[in-house]
Homo-oligomer: A and B are copies of this chain.
Amino acid sequence: MKNIVSFKEAKACPIQFVLAVNDTLNVISGKWKLPIIGSLLFEKKRFSDIQRTIGKITPRMLSKELKDLEMNGMVKRTVYDTTPITVEYELTESGKLLSDVLDKMLEWGLQHRIATLSKN
């Protein structure tokens, strides 16, 4: 069982800090998590919609990654009793909040590219 740590505590202890940041990293790591989250950021989608927007992902991986994301509280899965059956995937509130993190990552990534380019 994980113990709950405050921001202050995590910042003060390098080991706690790395562990806590790693929890977030694990939610978005792997080849397909980010494309899936990205495709759900602006609208909920069905299985085949996500597959179409991402393109080269296999149904096996999409299914597996969606399960992971659901288990981690990032994605909500809703089954509709239509014929044929339809299933909708959407980001949870917490999942939507991840965009703040992604924006920061984007911002840093862009400045980092400029910083490293100027060194060559």
| Residues on A facing B (Cβ under 8 Å) | 2, 4-7, 10-11, 14, 17-18, 20-25, 27-29, 34-35, 38-39, 41-42, 72-73, 92-94, 97-98, 100-116, 119
Contact = CB atoms under 8 A, between A and B. Distances in A.
Contacts of A94: 111-112, 115-116
A27 B110 CA distance: 13
A110 B34 contact: no
Nearest to A93: B115
A12 to B, nearest CB: 11
A21 B119 contact: no
A21 B105 contact: yes
Contact of A101 (B17, B72, B105): B105
Contacts of A106: 7, 10-11, 17, 20-21, 24
A115 B98 CA distance: 13
A118 to B, nearest CB: 10
Given A94-B116, A115-B93, A109 B21 contact: yes
A27 to B, nearest CB: 8
